[in-house]
Amino acid sequence: MEIKGTVALVTGANRGLGREFARQLLDRGAARVYATARDPQRIDVPGAERLRLDVTDPAQVAAAAAAAGDVTLLVNNAGVATGANLVTGDLDRIRLEMDTHFYGTLAMVRAFAPVLAASGGGAILNVLSALSWFSYDGANAYGAAKAAAWSLTNGVRIELAAQGTLVTGLHLGAADTDMMAWYTGPKADPADVVRAGLDGIEAGRLEVLADAWSAHVKASLAGDPAAFYAAA
């Protein structure tokens, strides 16, 4: 799939990776980019068409699909990080993680699958995480939700294959965004992460590992988890 000429919709486009996705899509020649956020007034990407969208609100998801019926590339980027753990964390925060990353992504896929089919198949890019594959104290609700979103990505890829829709998962470690402002370790440039994701779409890849940490974590899955956590 070529980015040039595509019509894209990006969730969570008011900051971080979502804002960078909208910018790079336009720079690569996308014919139209719908940039969405819960508060569209916070979207500041010149040339993008702003839409109000909370992916946890079924009515807003349906309205977005009706308003953007020409979409050929869906970028599911919207996310939240509550810092909740699973055993002692606030259940409402844990549910918010799952509602956003799993059910929100699923709602978008279900709403836009017919739109993509009508365009000849198109593509979906789901922004996932290296935390799909390991756990981190203080982010276990986030990790569980991203693991569910990874499984969702693999599942809908099979279900949408018959209509010619490419479904790509983009995994990354920490990126230099507002969401990760608290983190003091190495952080990837959001521009590099987004570039890797869009390059992956154009190459028809099913999975993109945007940084060395994601590649390391994925490679460790075949080994003893005790060895991974001892070295982490």
Which residue type, as a one-letter code, is found at position 77? N
pLDDT at 183 (0 to 100): 65
Q: What is the pLDDT of residues 177-188, one digit of tens each?
A: 777 666 667 787
The answer to whether 173 and 213 have CB atoms below 8 angstroms apart is: yes
Q: Cα separation of 127 and 208, whole Å?
A: 10
> String of b and e for 66-101 (b: at least 16 CB within 10 Å)?
ebbeebbbbbbbbbbbbebbeeebeeebbbbbbbbb
Give the residue ranges of the chain where pLDDT is below 50.
Answer: none
The answer to whether 110 and 157 are in contact (CB under 8 A) is: no
Has domain 7-231 been given CATH number 3.50.50.100? no
3-state SS, residue 8: strand
* Sequence spans of domains, the chain: 7-231
Q: Calculate what percentage of the chain has a pLDDT beyond 70.
A: 97
Predicted pLDDT of residue 174? 79
